[in-house]
């Protein structure tokens, strides 16, 4: 028997989403579909951004600096493509303010643009309340699942800290490396902040 469908078969690993960074030139606009940011320490290692694996981290052992990256799911206003959007800690402040004011990021109109035409230029994010009368937002994706597909890691290796409205993408345990950094471990101090020129994007 033949079988025809209007959608391709689902990825057995779960929801896969393409990763999007702020482009140069024109701003990126979209509506956030997740409740909260999911973030982790990452390394630029072997030509790509990979999550820090904490105590078992190969990149750490090789002395590669780390940087925190946060991710939200973003629905394109004109493209209608649902993607993961990557930001640095520095760029994320307006989203934190929005989250505080509204209790959720879902429905936040996000615009990200670089301050100049350099591909590594600093990113400025502005937020607003989206008009949801004229657009039907896709449901919140499982961000950790999507990230684990992009990074090709087992989902269970990411530890959940809690749930918000039954969505397991809301809170992620701070990686051990961040906790050590916060506790003043000098080995990690030098790698924080600016000066990492190996990163492909400076958001
Ligand atoms: Zn690491």
- Centre of ligand 1 to C-alpha 155, Å, is 17
With respect to residue 7, please indicate whether it lies within any of the assigned structural domains.
no
- Centre of ligand 1 to C-alpha 191, Å, is 11
C-alpha 50/C-alpha 59 separation (Å) is 9
pLDDT digit string, tens, across residues 78-137: 888 999 999 999 999 999 999 999 999 999 999 999 999 998 899 999 999 998 888 889
- Centre of ligand 1 to C-alpha 183, Å, is 17
With respect to residue 9, please indicate whether it lies within any of the assigned structural domains.
no
* Token pair in block for residue 5: 């469908």
Mean pLDDT of 31-54: 90
- Centre of ligand 1 to C-alpha 112, Å, is 27
With respect to residue 116, please indicate whether it lies within any of the assigned structural domains.
yes
- Centre of ligand 1 to C-alpha 103, Å, is 31
C-alpha 67/C-alpha 81 separation (Å) is 27
Per-residue confidence at 189, pLDDT binned at 50, 70, 90?
A: very low
With respect to residue 201, please indicate whether it lies within any of the assigned structural domains.
no
With respect to residue 60, please indicate whether it lies within any of the assigned structural domains.
yes
With respect to residue 181, please indicate whether it lies within any of the assigned structural domains.
yes
With respect to residue 203, please indicate whether it lies within any of the assigned structural domains.
no
Mean pLDDT of 139-158: 81
Structural domain span for residue 46:
18-189
With respect to residue 111, please indicate whether it lies within any of the assigned structural domains.
yes
- Centre of ligand 1 to C-alpha 72, Å, is 22
**Counted domains in the chain:** 1
- Centre of ligand 1 to C-alpha 158, Å, is 13
Per-residue confidence at 138, pLDDT binned at 50, 70, 90?
A: very high
Neighbours of ion ligand 1 (CB under 5 A): 52, 57, 59-60
C-alpha 145/C-alpha 136 separation (Å) is 23
For residue 138, give every residue at least 6 positions away whose Cβ sits within 8 Å of its Cβ, in sequence order, or none. Answer: 33, 75, 82
């Amino acid at each position: 028997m033949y079988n025809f469908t209007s959608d391709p078969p689902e990825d057995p690993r779960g929801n896969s989403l393409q990763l999007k960074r702020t482009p140069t030139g024109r701003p990126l606009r979209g509506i956030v579909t997740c409740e909260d940011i999911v973030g982790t320490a990452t390394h630029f290692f072997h030509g790509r951004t990979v999550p820090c694996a904490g105590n078992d981290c190969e990149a750490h052992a090789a002395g590669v600096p780390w940087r925190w990256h946060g991710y939200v799911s973003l629905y394109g206003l004109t493209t209608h493509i649902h993607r993961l959007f990557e930001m640095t800690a520095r760029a994320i402040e307006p989203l934190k303010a929005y989250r505080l004011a509204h209790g959720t990021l879902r429905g936040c109109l996000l615009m990200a643009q670089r301050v100049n035409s350099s591909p590594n230029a600093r990113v400025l994010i502005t937020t607003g309340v989206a008009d949801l009368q004229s657009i039907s937002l896709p449901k919140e994706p499982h961000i950790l699942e999507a990230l684990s597909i992009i990074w090709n890691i087992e989902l269970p290796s990411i530890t959940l800290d809690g749930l918000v409205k039954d969505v397991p993408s809301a809170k992620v345990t701070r990686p051990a490396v961040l906790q050590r950094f916060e506790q003043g471990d000098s080995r990690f101090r030098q790698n924080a902040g600016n000066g990492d020129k190996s990163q492909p994007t400076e958001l």
